[in-house]
Each structure stands twice: as structure tokens, then as C-alpha cells.
Amino acid sequence: MQTRLSVYIRLGAMMFLQYAIWGAWSTVLWPYLTKLGFTEWQKSASLAALYLASILAPFTGGQIADRWLPSQYFLALAHLGGAAAMFFMASQRDFGPFIILMAIYSILFAPTLAVTNAVAFEHIRDREKEFGLIRVLGTLGWIVAGWILTATRRADMDWGGRADLLMLTAVLSFIMAVFCLFLPNTPPKREGENPLAFVEAFKLLKDPQFLLFIIIAFVVTTELQFYYGPTGDYLKSQIGIADADVPAVMTIAQICELVGMAVLLPLLLPKIGIRWALAIGVIAWPIRYIVFAIGTPELKALVLGSLGLHGIGYTFFFVVSFIYVDKVAPSNIRNSAQSLVTLATIGLGNFIGTMFLGYIMNRFKNPDGSMQWTNIFLVPCVLTVICAIAYLVLFRDPRAAPDRGAQEPSAA
């Protein structure tokens, strides 16, 4: 019998590696593709590959882990394939082969985001208090990946002529694949009445509050691409941050996210409830975009400080969203319910948002190649303000699913 401490340590290590993998490439891919000479549309398409793959997540990862294969084995296979795809992608310089490999990687990686959440929820006792403490190690992993990348760049580390951010991702993915074999056993729940778990998950949309939550989460996520995509280029060209320092500087967001998950979320969530916790997340993003819109080298400290609002926003919206979905979804479709949120946010929201980003970047690109950063960041500012108002007026605290409370997490 495994001790509960052993289970929690493994769940924390799982989150650390999962988000170290994502953090190694996601926030610095846009500047890397700029160096390769990709167009704004090609850069958008490269980022959008993961999001398009996430649309398939309820029909792939969620379905497999809910019905057919233990979650730990699914995660091991997906990350092993992802490591191989990243290794070959790191040597590509042309858009054609690059986007094909990116699509393969994305199909493998996208389902793991929801499945790791579901694995954690399956093996913890108090979801509202404990999930944030486990998930915070994912934020630490993202931070460590960014600092490793900056350290290797400052040391002029040679990756054999391959892209450093993609090679680091490949190494971390391989480590994760091996580690997943030692995760607590999480077998599929074959006892569900409907063998297609994602069909049952879609029925959650009949609840007006859940539907409102999904719509707001979708719109907010479309605007997050204005952070994930061009922020690296913005920090270099508009604020004056050195290229080698960008990966580490952008971890300011994750450092604040870490504080939010480890301290603020466990402290505030039991007191203010899910509704107001989500509200904090929704409000943080338009404030950040206002700062970006007025940013200049003279306001460098303010701009770098505003990066922390991304971490606070992520913690109080997306992490609390995972808790919200786990609370309202019946236990036998929990993986697929998490995957449904993945579809609406990381999938449809990010995909459409990335395409929208490409349009806005082209629209406000000067003939000399420079960007009209104020106009660019005012767009997501306006849309996130609308989301915040809609949320505060219409959303209410959720009630637990009828079967919640009868489920006791496994200790092994």
C-alpha cells in the first residue's frame, strides 16, 4: 500500500514536468519563428497547431483515459511520442516540415493537459484546498524551464545546431514519459452508462451557468494569445529586454502564479468561493493589457510588474476552473468534462484567438516591420473588460454534482 505522502509527491512531480515541458517552448516560440523569417500568419499557425489539436482532446485523451487505458500509461505513450516529434522539429528551418511535426506533437501533447488534472483530482481528498498546492509545482516547472533556457543561452550552449527551446522540450518530454510509469494507478471507469464519455460531458452545457462559464472562458482565452504570442518580441523591441533574458523575464508571470497557487488560492478560495475567485482572474487581464498598451522603456518596471497579473489571472481563473468543473461533473465523466473545458479554451479559444492575433498583428504592422503596440494591446483590453462585466453580472456560485461526496479518492 502506497502512503498518501508518496502519492502526493508523485502527483506534484507530474505537474512539475508537465508544465516544464510546455513552458520550455510556448512563450518563446514566437520570437524563435521571427528569427527563422516566418510570416505573421505562419507564426500564428504554428502556435495554433496545439490549440487545434486540443479540439480533438475530448475524443482522444479524455475518451481513452475514461474508458480504455489507465491514465498513467496513456500519459507515458503521449509524452514519449512528443519527445521524438520535438527532437526532429528542432532541426527544421522551413515552414512545411516544421508545421507537420508541430501538428504531430500537438496531437500527442494536447490531451495530456486535461488527463493530468483528472489524475490529480482522482487521488486527492480535499480538492479545493489540495489541488492548488499540487498544481503550483507545475508553475515551478514552467519557471525552472525558462531559467534553464536563459542559462543555456547565456552560456552559448551548443545543442548540435538544433533549436534550444525545442531540444529542451524533447529532453523534458522523455523524462516525463519514463516518470509516468510510476504514477498512481488510475484505471478507466468502464462502469459509465454511456461508453462515449464525451457525449455525457457535452450534456453539462444544458446547465445555463455552466454554459455561461464556457462562453466566458472561451472569449477570455482568445485574448490570451496576445500575451503568449508577441510578448517576447514586445519586450525586446518596445521595452529593451535582451533576447537571452526574455525566457527568464517572462517567468515573472509564473512566479506570481506560484505565489497565487501556494498562498493566495488556498487562503482565499474557502472564504470567497468559486464565483469571486474566478472574478479576480477575469479582472486581472484587462489591467495587464492597459499597461502593455502604454508601455515604454521608461515604464520598464511597470511593464515587468504587470507580467505578474498574468500569473494571478491564470491562477484565479483557470486553476479555479478545474476545481469548478470537478465539482459540477459526475465522477464517471470527470476526464471528459475536463477535456471539454480544454476544447473550449486551449482548443477553440486559443485556435481562434491565434488566428485573430495574426490578423491584428498584420493590421497594425508598419511598413518598416515595426509594430503599433498600443493599438495591438487595446484590442484584448476591450474584449476582456466586456467578459469581466458579463461574468460579474450573470455568474453564480456552483452546486456540486449529485454523486459528489460519495467518491473517496484512492490511496494508491
Rg (CA), the chain: 20
Nine-digit cell string for 51: 490549440
Handedness of CA 386, 110, 75, 340 (dihedral sign): positive
Cβ neighbour number for residue 263 with a 10 Å cutoff: 12
Domains of the chain, by residue range, sit at 4-186+197-394
State the pLDDT at residue 378: 94
Residue 62 has pLDDT above 70, yes or no: no
Task: Kindly report, residue by residue over 116-174, the tens digit of the pLDDT.
Answer: 888 888 888 776 667 777 888 888 899 999 999 999 999 988 888 899 999 999 999 99
What is the Cα–Cα distance from 89 to 49, expressed in whole angstroms?
Answer: 13
Alpha-carbon torsion angle 394, 398, 399, 403, nearest 10 = 130
CA quadruple 20, 25, 28, 31: dihedral, nearest 10:
170
158 vs 42, higher pLDDT = 42
CATH of 4-186+197-394, one of 1.10.340.30, 3.40.50.2300, 1.10.10.10, 1.20.1250.20: 1.20.1250.20
Q: Is 286:336 a contact under the CB 8 Å cutoff?
A: no
DSSP 381-412: HHHHHHHHHHHHHH-------TTTTS------
* pLDDT at position 59: 63
Q: Would you say 162 and 46 are in contact if contact means Cβ atoms under 8 Å apart?
A: no
Among positive and negative, which fits the CA dihedral 341, 344, 349, 355? positive
pTM of the entire predicted model: 0.74
| 371 three-state secondary structure | strand
Cβ burial 13-46 (10 Å sphere, 16+ → b, else e): bbbbbbbbbbbbbbbbbbbbbbeeebebeebbbb
Instruction: Give the confidence band of 51 by pLDDT, cuts at 50, 70, 90.
Output: confident
Evaluated on CA atoms 172, 178, 179, 181, the torsion sign reads positive
Q: How confident is the model at residue 412 (pLDDT cuts 50, 70, 90)?
A: very low
Phi, psi of 227 (to 5 degrees): -95, -55
pLDDT of 388: 86
The residues that bridge with 371 in the sheet, in sequence order, are: 365
Q: What is the C-alpha to C-alpha distance for residues 375 and 368, in angstroms, rounded to an integer? A: 17
Q: Higher pLDDT residue, 208 or 174?
A: 174
Per-residue confidence band for 3, with pLDDT thresholds at 50, 70 and 90: confident
Mean pLDDT throughout 11-19? 95
User: What is the per-residue pLDDT for 148?
Assistant: 95
User: What span, in angstroms and rounded, lies between the C-alpha atoms of 239 and 373?
Assistant: 11
Per-residue pLDDT tens for 316-354? 988 888 788 878 877 767 767 777 887 788 778 888 999
**For residues 380-392, average pLDDT:** 88
Amino acid letter, 405: G
CA 74 to chain centre: 19
Split at pLDDT 50, 70, 90, the class of 43 is: very high
Mean pLDDT (the chain) is 85
**Pick from 50, 196, 169, 158: which is nearest to 111 by CA?**
50
Query: What's the half-sphere exposure (Cβ side, CA atoms, 13 Å) at 44?
Result: 19
* 409 pLDDT above the threshold of 60: no
CA 381 to chain centroid, in Å, comes to 20
Q: Which three cell numbers stand for residue 116?
A: 493530468
Q: Which three cell numbers stand for residue 33?
A: 519563428
Nearest Cα residue to 114 out of 345, 352, 278, 314: 345
Exposed / middle / buried, residue 94 (Cβ in 10 Å: 0-12, 13-18, 19+) = exposed
Residue 335 vs residue 244, higher pLDDT: 244
Helix (H, G, I), strand (E, B) or coil at 13: helix
